[in-house]
Amino acid sequence: MNDMELDTKSKIMQYAIDMVGSRGDVTIRELAEAAGVNVASINYYFGSKENLLKEVEMHYSMALYNVLYSIFTSTELSPYDKLLEWAKTMSEFISQYPALISLIVKLSLDDKNYTPVLIDKIYLNKELQDMMQQIIGTILKSESKKLLKLKYLQLFSGILGPVINRLVEENFSDSPLTLNFSSKDDLEEYMKLLIDAVLA
């Protein structure tokens, strides 16, 4: 590919990242119009809308993976602060890009052989699991693999609570159900309580 082709492909990709991250599924026509290219260009560079969406999902997943990896390998954070930063980062990411979850579900339903990068690189990633379980084990002074796996699952489940709460409030309720999880202070307070409860 020459520089002009790379620029066009990068431009399409950037618009897709922005639009899918904020809105979820977009049509090829909407994307082409926003990027200032014709529909054929999108098919030329990506082969299909599904391939483009998979690249968008990979972009977000790898960005999150890199942030989480840097948290877990930080030499400046205590084990507790690593868990807190992990929880806040995960929750903020899911809250900031709620459409990404819908995208993952859609891609998985459309292609039964597709394993979402977010699942593969974040939830099922053995390296991240081991680092997180080691941090939990250090805090709890435990080497029980079963206990550490259960605590890992509890933390993952707990970060989904504010996301579900927010979706319910936005779609089914006229007044807040619990706390204002769009407030960073409330979110951080929730995450501290979650971590303290899981580590108790």
Taking only the tens place, the pLDDT of each residue in 120-175 is: 898 889 999 999 999 999 999 999 999 999 999 999 889 887 777 776 776 776 76
Task: Please determine, for residue 2, whether its predicted confidence score (pLDDT) is greater than 50.
Answer: no
φ, ψ at 139 (rounded to 5°): -65, -45
Q: What is the pTM of this model?
A: 0.81
All structural domains of the chain: 1-47 (1.10.10.60), 53-199 (1.10.357.10)
The string of pLDDT tens digits covering residues 36-81 is 999 999 999 999 888 998 999 999 999 999 999 999 999 999 999 9
